[in-house]
Chains A and B, each alone.
Chain A
């Protein structure tokens, strides 16, 4: 997992921002948290390659987004500041050959959704496991064609084990020892 994907992306407009790569999360920053979650996209027309979560801050007009890379449904970030967050969008590539193209989905924007979390102090926060449920043909519009439903599997424990394994395996994440330690403490408590 490349570090550049784990960095907070403060974008003027959603995910579309280009421009310069933001600086890495300071490994010595003791205010930030490890956040992770899981989306089962077996029923979706694309894979899951990224997840964008929004920080809700009424003092910032455009909000602040963090983009997570996703792998096999799992996504995590080692550097979220205290605040209120929830998944806003996610997406990935779908189709084959000439029909291959990016897909993007909205998790739902009517108040609080199933991934909402308040980070009050540095720690480990789980956004839950959700599955994409296809309602193709049910509605006329994209938003009517699927829902994200809470899933029972994989377990939080299993997902946290995968997070720990991914951090330990990635040299670019080797410096985030505090987050790794806290993840192991959380795992022991589960």
Chain B
């Protein structure tokens, strides 16, 4: 077929119309936006290539050329989805594209020629059908975009200054602290889909409590002076990043405690700095990745993964811990990679031999896979007790 530019665009838009409609239905069914985002990218990439590349370079397009051109478009769409952080399952995204491609082929070779007598000789132009398709497609995408925008959680700005807490969040929202915004008395998250950004918390039973909700993001928060835990998470899926927690002087609390969220998906703790407390970061019966954190001066364990927890402990730095730097305990499975654990002190006063200053310790039927960790100035670099294993010879990384 020798497409005209208009023919290319009209044929593409008409062929993508059912794909975009299907993506909207899928988005409604799954309560996720990636199908619409992916379909929107398919439209955008296709139109851009039509305008800038295909029309200039391809005077005649044989049937077989649809295959390499389709693969090119798939690669560009997937690349843009990755760049734009569109969280789509790869298989489903490829399936959506592949289904759309096949449908477009069927339309181009059979459907459009049957619908429009002069389809081939008019270079793929569809006349009123093409214009109508473009309008409907635009309306669909605009509606989807508008709906997505309307469903965005409201952004609440917390002004600079001290706000008396506890601050209880009961609706989905994005709470953004202006520079200098401080909540005294803690924050309690009681709604799903809450994001807290750039807020300082002083005092409170726990600095921030997240209980029984999902989709919580704590980004750039700082906590100090909490009576119990700095960030206390129960039965909740959460992402904590770029936080700062000061637990110095607190002998009972944990910097971050994530417990009992095994059924809530993978939680993430990344880029946090924690000083003091019994444990810097601890997970119980949880699936969590603990990445790129700085933990120091803890009085029980620097980082502990315990009570049948699973997860990666990677790229963290643990300093000046008392007793144990990284602790994998109670039938847990821990991938411990590229961490730096230094200056762990023996807990002489405890009289417990398993607290004699381990850089990494696996305990009670647990398994810790160690790879490329820097374990220096610790009385014992690593060890395993009570039917546990420390494996050091893995030939691969989980990274």
- A associates with B: no
